[in-house]
Structures are given as C-alpha cells and as structure tokens.
A and B are shown apart, each in its own frame.
Chain A
Amino acid sequence: MTARIEALPRTRSGSLLLGAFGVLCALTLWQLAPTLGLVDGDNLPGAVPVLGELFSLAGTSAFWDAVASTLAGAGVGLAIAVVLGVWFGVLMGSSKVAWHALRPTVEFLRPVPGVALIPVAILLFGPSMKSDVLLVAFGCVWVMLVQTLYGVRAVDEVALQTARSYGLTRADRIRFVQLPSALPYIATGLRIASAIALIVAVTAELVAGNDGLGKSISLAQSVGQTEEMYALIVASGILGIVVHLLFGGLEKRFLHWHQSQRVGAER
C-alpha cells in the first residue's frame, strides 16, 4: 500500500491525484476551522460560503470590470516596461560606453521598492489607471533590462564575429543576432515581470484606490462584506496562477537549454 502511494508522484495522473487530495484537505480544513469554532466565522468564513460567493460574483459585471481594470493596468505597465527594458538592455549590453555610463544609476534604482512611489503616483494622477501603469512600469522595467542585458551579453561570439565580417551594420547585428539570442532571457524576464506586474497593480489599487481587484477587496473589507472579500482574494490568486501559467508556457517555448542555466530561473 505505501509502496503504491510512493509510486504515485512518478506519473502525471498520480501527481494530479495527490494534488487533488491536497486541495481537498486544505478546503476541508478551511471549512472546519470556522464550523468547529476554531476561528470566528464572521472574520474567516468557511470555504463553502466563500466559494459560493465567488460563484455568484462571477455572474456580475462589476467583478469582471474589476478584473479587466487590474489586467489593463498591469498589462499596459508591463508593455511599457518591456519596451524600455529591452531597449536599454540592448543598449547597455552592446555598448561598453552606455554600460559604464548608466550602470551606477541602474544599480541604485533597481532595488528601490516600486510601492515607495505610490504616494507620488497619487499626487501625479490621483486614483486612476495611470497610477497603476506608472507603478507597474517602474516595478517591472529593471527585471526586463537586466534579463535583456544578460541575454545580449550571452550571444555566441562566433555568430557575432561572423555577422560583423559579413558586413552587417550595428542595427542589423542587434536585430538579427543579438536580439534573437536574447529571446530566452527576455522570456524569463517576462515571466518574472508578469508576476510583479500583477502584485504591483493590486497593491496600487488597494492603497491608491484606483479601480480593480485591489480596490474591490479593500471596499469589501471596509463595508464588512467578509465573504466577498475572501472570494475576491481567491479570484486574485486564480488570476495569479493564470498569468503564471501563461508566461511560464511562453518561457518554455523559448527554452533553448536547461532553465537553470539562466539568470533568475529560480522561483
């Protein structure tokens, strides 16, 4: 019996079975905690009412509007970050002068927590999607820049020399040699940045009050709609998984060699 259980994780269906068992256990625990009075049911309702609430929320347009706002803010911010990050990454990766000129500034700005700029975004844009976009772009641009930079640096020297001796211009070398070889790195950057984008967007909505899941969560909390609050949090988690799967899949498509060979492959 134990031997059979131990064989389960080796197959895909076995893993799924075990995973489903885990989910069932977690949901049961979640339901039992308030039912048995371990926690106050008003503060932490059980799994059944929360998932029921999520089900009915999914039928309202307000819910989908909030999801759309969050995704739009995160998406536009991410797009800006990708454009800027890739551009500066290519610049700093291919020009020694640019690398040395910008390195100290980038090294300083990179670890700056993007949420520190929330008050600035509020002052500049108030509670609007622009705040989301600004904060997401700032939060994501550094990952994209650094990944692109490493990707451009990791280009096959022989390929680059060949392109040079065939008389390709600098712009063509970037376009046909350096950028394509940096793609797997950029895809890894995208996966990491997409997670950051969602976190920052929800955080900005929560604090600054622009429309989206974050605002809906804090609204639900302030009016005491506890079930709705938890349902929205579950929804945001599901959204997180969807984004992760999407960009994780994208990364796999560009995976030329083993993941662990690349910077930032850790989770």
Chain B
Amino acid sequence: MSRMHLSRGRLGWLTLEVGATALIVALLWLYTDTNESYAVAPLGDVLDAFRATWLFEHVGSDVVPSLVRMTLGYGAAIVIGVVVGFGLGSSPVLAAIAAPVVSFLRSIPAAALLPPAIVLFGIGGGTKVAVIAFVCCWPIMLNTSDGVRELDSTMLATARVYGIRGIDRLRMVVLPAVAPRIFAGMRTSLSIAILLLVTSEMIASTNGIGYFVFQAQQQFAVDDMWAGVLLLGLLGFGLNLLFGVIERRVLRWNVRGDGSN
C-alpha cells in the first residue's frame, strides 16, 4: 500500500518536472516569437539553424577542433596538477615555499593570460592548449596537495606494517585516498577549461565553436549565434554529465563522494 503511494507520488513529481519544464520552454518559445528585439531570435528558427549547422556540417570543422584543444589542455593540466600536487603535498617545506606564488598565479583571471600567450606563442592551436593547461592545473594541484597532506597517518602506518610499499602503496593506498580531492579539483578546472576554450576561440582563432558564435554575432546572423550558444550550453551540460559518470565510477567505493554536487 505504502509502496503504491510512494510510486504514485514519484510519478506525480515526475509529471510536475516534465510539465513545468515544457511550460518554461513553451513560454520561451512564445516570448522569442513575439519579441521584436534584433538580439532575440524565434526558438523555432534557432532550432532550424542548429540542425543546419551542427547536424553535422560544422562538426568536423568547428566542434572537433574545439574538443581536441580542450582535451589536450585539460589532460595536460591533470597530469601537471597531480604530479606537482603530490610533490607539494608530501613536502611541507616545498608547499610553504610555493604557496604565495601558486595562489598568485591562480588568482589571475584566466582570460587575462590570453593576450600574453598570443604575444609569446602566436595564435596557433598550441597557444590555446597551453593556456588551458596553465590555468586549469592550479585547482587540481592545490586539491591534490591538500589531499596528500591530509592522508590518514594510521592508514599509512598500517600499510607500512603490512609491507605495502612502492608502486603498490601508491596504487592501493595513496591514490584511492587522494582521488576524491583530485576529482574535486578537476571539476573546478573543467568549467575553467570550457570558459577559456570559448574565450580563446573568440579572440584568436579561425575555427572552433567559440569562433563560430562570435562570427555569427559580428555578421548579425542571430539565428546562427543562438544556435551556437545552444551548442555551447549542451556541451557544458554534456561534459559535466560525463564527468559525473566517470567520477561516480572511479569513486564508486567512496560513500561520501567528494562531498561536492
């Protein structure tokens, strides 16, 4: 009886979720259809533009380059962040020496580094990868180093007693214990990576989703612009979803998760 009640309740909430969302979309549709502002495009036109552009004509020319840049930069940031983070976390002296410099470097608003990167490395794809890697490595580094420093000393002592050392110690004891912190840093970095990707493509690129959106705006192709914004939204949504799935898989054993949402 109570189970029936529960499932009916859940169905009710689901109906509310779908219904309310449909209503919001419908209102948006109506609003964009009747709005005269040149910055607003009817939702129907935007969806048409989306189909024409992103299914799949510009996928190879714009989406793939964007994703490649982002993957390379973000990947490099993870490697650098984790490796240096481990170094800083295991040596309090090193950590104290690096602390002010690191906190200064990560306080620079990410996009401010794009102009000097262009001066130093030109506007090629490597520049964007380098900037993404540079800016995204700090949160990962700081969280990794915190995680290593806060390792449970009883756990480490137990591992020592059992003769777990070297690679096994890293793989079976240290890495699982630090992983939630690494993922917390990676989650922060993911949104920075997307921000930098879009910005760098807007100010210095000849392809990519950010470039496409910016060009569309410059040419007052409002439908195309909104279609690009929609794609960037879906990209952000999708990448976060993917991240969540990977995180849950890797941290399956960890009941509390990383505590973040």
Determine if chain A interacts with chain B: yes
Whether B119 and A116, one on each chain, are in contact in the complex, defined by CB atoms closer than 8 angstroms, is no
Count CB-based A-B contacts (< 8 Å): 211
A113 contact from B120, B194, B261, Cβ within 8 A:
B194
- The chain A residue sitting closest to B142, CB to CB, is A267
Residues in B62-111 with C-beta less than 8 Å from chain A? 92-93, 95-101, 103-105, 107-111
B181 contact from A117, A201, A261, A266, Cβ within 8 A:
A266
Q: Which of A76-84, A156-164, A167-175, A234-242 is the interface stretch?
A: A234-242
With contacts A19-B99, A263-B260 taken as known, whether A113 is within 8 angstroms of B191 at the C-beta atoms is yes
Whether A203 and B195, one on each chain, are in contact in the complex, defined by CB atoms closer than 8 angstroms, is yes
Total number of A residues with any Cβ neighbor in B under 8 Å: 77
Total number of B residues with any Cβ neighbor in A under 8 Å: 72
Q: Which of B125-133, B214-222, B246-254 is the interface stretch?
A: B214-222
Q: Which of B16-24, B50-58, B153-161, B164-172 is the interface stretch?
A: B16-24
Whether A118 and B97, one on each chain, are in contact in the complex, defined by CB atoms closer than 8 angstroms, is no
With contacts A111-B191, A116-B229 taken as known, whether A22 is within 8 angstroms of B111 at the C-beta atoms is no
A105 contact from B21, B116, B202, Cβ within 8 A:
B21
Whether A123 and B38, one on each chain, are in contact in the complex, defined by CB atoms closer than 8 angstroms, is yes
Is B245 interfacial (CB 8 A cutoff)? no
Whether B199 and A230, one on each chain, are in contact in the complex, defined by CB atoms closer than 8 angstroms, is no
Q: CB-CB < 8 A to A19: which residues of B?
A: 96-97, 99-100
Bound-state CA distance A119–B219 (Å) is 11
Can you report 7 residue pairs joining A to B where beta carbons are below 8 Å apart?
A: A111-B236, A118-B214, A123-B39, A237-B107, A266-B143, A266-B185, A266-B258
- Could you list which residues of chain B lie within 8 angstroms of chain A, going by C-beta atoms? 13, 16-18, 20-21, 24, 37-39, 92-93, 95-101, 103-105, 107-116, 118-120, 139, 142-143, 146, 181, 184-185, 188, 191-192, 194-195, 198-199, 202-203, 213-214, 216-217, 220, 222, 225-226, 228-229, 232-233, 235-237, 239-240, 258-261
